Structure 1
């Protein structure tokens, strides 16, 4: 086995040597309270009308795209529809995600109604996912307790079937993982986001999970009914393919929030982990003009440390916090019109980041050379 602590992408240009000398696992010389104090007070203010305006914008866009697709109904137009509508499904997911964090508004009922409505329409169980995502934020960067794209320990990795390893680490399979994660979580973890009795949830949360599962079932039943009314092929074109595009967006973006930086970033366990150190392993990404469409979700470091901040204040909050964060903040590589630059980081990370040590307090991803040799994807 190989310890892949080298850069994913060969560094170049001024300042790279300094970056290579910086130890990202060193305890930061600042407290989370200092970061909080640097962020302007108005960045914490949640405006429900402004949040609802983004919902209105996205719903109008989804409706307009749907109407346009039905009007043209041509194979020339369908690929454009799928790309744009799938991206809008992803934008809707992000707003529902904000409801789950309570950054949408201070009203829990409003958050719940909007969150259930938005997430159910794209087949996401709102409360089931909200609760597991809360677990992710509370344990970000922790090898065992994190919930999103959790590293496999060496023991779990070695016990995986060769086919499972291939599916998990070879493009395009991982970018379609989200529905399977909802049903069965990640290797080494048990439970389902649909099951109120899953060990993901406490006794008090079972009713909430049941409500979300029923909303999901209702939406799924509606989609089945519409398939009989207008035909399964038409439903596949109108909803099925955009849903898959949405899943691809979700898997790529969430993976790159915590993987694939130019230099390897640490994961922690035991006494080495704390909330601040774990949050500082998060990576900001630039998606060009798509930043605005998907509500600046790529501005992710400050979101992870302070998920209560509304998405429309994240860019300003991040600029204010940089002076405190110093080298612990990694400036995202600027994107062109379409964020093709991120493909190399995604592919190379999946090729190299296979497992971590079973026991050490600070760990970095290691590489299975056999799986690396058999991989057909490589970006230099």
Structure 2
């Protein structure tokens, strides 16, 4: 079986041959995403007077295109969709407004995930899991609550909070913090102008001034877009379809992200002995998706390639995997039918250095107790 050593030996060659951003391909992807979104919203506005079943069908397509929009936004954050940084930033901002997520701020946190993939001592994101020791220390009620909070049925709610609530809440907190900071400085220095009083401001969560400005710009553009769409489509129809499509797309995205890192026996370690390339091979899955779903998810199923090097564009991932298929033969494969089981892997076994399910952990304890 190919090892981490063989990946390290070939990594430079792989990256050199496949890190080839192509502006033409990128623009085609942008057009085949944003134009269908516009057509779908036009169709939704027309469909309400024809049949709500037709509206529902269009919303299903809208969910898929919103999912694709988020993945392309994610790629702009890595600077891999286009050749130039300026184009990646500009298009990333647009997709950030479409999906409701401040792209620059999100990408900073996402880079941390890439830098610590497989290191569950450092990862503290929205999908962080606890160790088996921490789970054992919980009361039965707390254990049930922990498991319920990670139920697949809560995925749309998680998508709603992640994409619609949290970015707005963070922005409002930042605005209030800026106002308090400016007011405090003006009390100390009455002659200070409002613009000067904002100097030295930092977000309560530790975000930089650049991140705050981007977050504010994203939220203002997002609000303008939603007001315009509510006027064009109709407030009630737009709100229902927009909230539903974004929440469902967010929920699907969260589930995809989860099973790409949390699955039975996935590589999971702390700081000691952690290896970036081993995490890409053993702690990241290869999702075996139908072609049409690979298109809507912009080839993010080739996640092992993406974690080997985030600089490889999505339209080069499949070719990279095919060329070096023998090298990635040991990467865990997950089919759609395997997703429910993978979603139950919500514990980190520190001793075994792997992800496990509650059922497997309890079985292991029962055997040890005999």
Whether TM-score is above 0.5 comes out as yes
Give the conservation status (yes or no) of the 8 Å contact 1:354–1:365: yes
Which position in structure 2 is the counterpart of 1:243?
Answer: 246
Which position in structure 1 is the counterpart of 2:65?
Answer: 88
1:121 matches 2:126: no
CA change 1:307–1:33 in 2 (3 A) is farther
Give the conservation status (yes or no) of the 8 Å contact 1:38–1:320: no
Q: Deviations over 1:12-42 (max 9, x none)?
A: xxxxxxxxxx8x9xx734242413424672x
Deviation, 1:93, is: 1.1
Summarize the alignment of residues 132-147 of structure 1 with structure 2, pairs less than 5 Å apart. 132-146=109-123, 147=125
Unpaired runs of at least 5, structure 1: 1-21, 186-190, 334-341, 373-380
User: What is the rounded CA distance, in whole Å, between the counterparts of 2:161 and 2:142 in structure 1?
Assistant: 17
Which position in structure 2 is the counterpart of 1:336?
Answer: none
Q: Deviations over 1:24-69 (max 9, x none)?
A: 9xx734242413424672x211112321221011111111111222
Unpaired runs of at least 5, structure 2: 175-201, 364-370
User: What is the rounded CA distance, in whole Å, between the counterparts of 2:92 and 2:113 in structure 1?
Assistant: 18
Which one is further off, 126-135 or 169-178? 169-178
What SS is found at the alignment partner of 1:264? coil
- Given candidates 347, 363, 380, the residue that maps to 2:354 is 363
User: What is the rounded CA distance, in whole Å, between the counterparts of 1:151 and 1:36 in structure 2?
Assistant: 33
Which position in structure 2 is the counterpart of 1:305?
Answer: 308
Deviation, 1:356, is: 2.1
Deviation, 1:95, is: 1.1
User: What is the rounded CA distance, in whole Å, between the counterparts of 1:362 and 1:200 in structure 2?
Assistant: 31
Deviation, 1:171, is: 2.7
Normalised by the length of structure 1, the TM-score is: 0.75
Which position in structure 1 is the counterpart of 2:286?
Answer: 284
User: What is the rounded CA distance, in whole Å, between the counterparts of 2:76 and 2:120 in structure 1?
Assistant: 27
Which position in structure 2 is the counterpart of 1:258?
Answer: 261
User: What is the rounded CA distance, in whole Å, between the counterparts of 2:355 and 2:333 in structure 1?
Assistant: 21
Summarize the alignment of residues 34-45 of structure 1 with structure 2, pairs less than 5 Å apart. 34-38=10-14, 41=17, 43-45=18-20
Which position in structure 2 is the counterpart of 1:314?
Answer: 317
Give the conservation status (yes or no) of the 8 Å contact 2:21–2:312: yes
Give the conservation status (yes or no) of the 8 Å contact 1:178–1:247: yes
Q: Of the two, which has the highest radius of gyration? A: 2
CA change 1:222–1:181 in 2 (3 A) is closer
Q: Deviations over 1:94-140 (max 9, x none)?
A: 11111100111232211111101111111111111101111111111
Give the conservation status (yes or no) of the 8 Å contact 1:123–1:220: no
CA change 1:180–1:163 in 2 (3 A) is farther
Normalised by the length of structure 2, the TM-score is: 0.76
Which position in structure 1 is the counterpart of 2:28?
Answer: 53
Deviation, 1:350, is: 3.5
User: What is the rounded CA distance, in whole Å, between the counterparts of 1:200 and 1:285 in structure 2?
Assistant: 35
After superposition, the CA RMSD in angstroms is 3.3
User: What is the rounded CA distance, in whole Å, between the counterparts of 2:305 and 2:360 in structure 1?
Assistant: 35
1:30 matches 2:6: yes
CA change 1:123–1:164 in 2 (3 A) is farther
CA change 1:306–1:33 in 2 (3 A) is farther
User: What is the rounded CA distance, in whole Å, between the counterparts of 1:227 and 1:53 in structure 2?
Assistant: 28
Summarize the alignment of residues 131-280 of structure 1 with structure 2, pairs less than 5 Å apart. 131-146=108-123, 147=125, 149-154=127-132, 157=135, 158=138, 161=142, 164-181=145-162, 197=203, 201=207, 205-220=208-223, 222-224=225-227, 226-227=229-230, 231-260=234-263, 263-280=264-281
Give the conservation status (yes or no) of the 8 Å contact 1:269–1:361: no
Deviation, 1:273, is: 0.7
Q: Which has the higher helix share?
A: 2
User: What is the rounded CA distance, in whole Å, between the counterparts of 1:237 and 1:184 in structure 2?
Assistant: 19
Give the conservation status (yes or no) of the 8 Å contact 1:46–1:106: yes
